[in-house]
Amino acid sequence: MGLGLAVGCAVASCAVAGILVGSRMKNHRKWAKVLELLSEFDEGCSTSTARLRQVVDAMAVEMHAGLASDGGASSRCSTFVDCLPDGNEKGTYYVLDLGGTNFRVLRVQLGGTRSTVIRHQVERQPIPQHLMTSTSELLFDFIAMTLKQFVDREEDDVEQELVRSRELGFTFSFPVKQTSFTSGALIKWTKGFAIEDAVGKDVSQCLEEAMTKKGLDMRVAALVNDAVGTLALGHYHDEDTVAAVIFGTGTNACYVERTDAIIKCQGLLTNSGGMVVNMEWGNFWSSHLPRTSYDVELDDESRTHSDQARF
């Protein structure tokens, strides 16, 4: 019996040892696979100094071309924004931020001293999926209704009694051909939106018409995208801020350029001698940076989810 027990224990020990060895070998193979994938990813994403210099040169060429004429360049959009906040702003301001499947309405009270925000209110509202592919009228009616409800809930204080017509900053983060400081025509939709009748329309006018229908006494005082809005906030806190970059669902940038360097805007006078230029550089980076199989797979997956959201 003792011999049988010893043999049984030995067999069990060997079985356990075999399992442990097999598990370790399996884990080792998994780890080796992980290291192989990391090495492949590192190699695919590596960018030599020479390649970076080529990208810099290509960016400079694109920027000069975009300042010279419309079309065919990344740096292509003048914003008509020639004056950024300087920190002395005082009063109550409203903002509508539309840049994806959600939009935000904001009310901010500034105290007139740099970096002083007395109070602010923010409300985030998801956009129903069916409105993302419906009509421009239905979309902006929904936005105007939400904005009116937000304004109606504001505190009935003395300051608000004196405000008869409210001014609105409209952050619209889709490609737009800016025609003035307060207006711009939609070039195309992105981020899952596909409202055909809105393309080519002045988005500020669409919003103002919807606000009028809802009985909201408000006008668009400025039309910008999220990059320009970020630059304005940075300049409000620090007057030396001259550029802003967005890294989100997409990427974009803007910067302050001398007006006389914007050849396509010759004759346009500005008070500051400068103007904010919207880069719209997303296409530039996608065509100049290294792309790996993982980038392709991620893009395909993103399109699939976007199509599912639309339909």
Domains annotated for the chain, with CATH where assigned, are 68-310 (3.30.420.40)
Name the nearest CA neighbour of 227 among 189, 276, 194, 275: 276
Output the CA torsion sign for 227, 303, 177, 67: positive
Please identify every stretch of the chain with a pLDDT value under 50, giving residue numbers as ranges: 2-12, 16, 157-158, 161-162, 164, 307, 309-311
Residue 164 per-residue DSSP state: S
**Residue-wise burial string across 178-216, b where 16 or more C-beta atoms lie within 10 A, e elsewhere:** beebbbbbbeebbebbbbeebeeebbbebbbbbbeebeb
Q: Which residues contact 195 (CB under 8 A, 6 or more apart)?
A: 132, 133, 134, 135, 136, 139, 189
- Specify the pLDDT at position 165: 59
- Specify the pLDDT at position 40: 80
- Specify the pLDDT at position 274: 86
- Specify the pLDDT at position 295: 76
Asked if 191 is an active-site residue, the reply is yes
Q: How far apart, in whole angstroms, are the C-alpha atoms of residue 287 and residue 61?
A: 14
Q: How far apart, in whole angstroms, are the C-alpha atoms of residue 142 and residue 152?
A: 15
Strands 77-78 and 117-126: unpaired
| Residue of 97, 141, 202, 226 with catalytic role | 226
- Specify the pLDDT at position 18: 55
Name the nearest CA neighbour of 135 among 193, 180, 186, 178: 193
| Residue of 191, 201, 214, 295 with catalytic role | 191
- Specify the pLDDT at position 10: 46
Q: How far apart, in whole angstroms, are the C-alpha atoms of residue 216 and residue 210?
A: 9
311 half-sphere exposure, CB direction, 13 A CA radius: 5
- Specify the pLDDT at position 227: 92
- Specify the pLDDT at position 210: 96
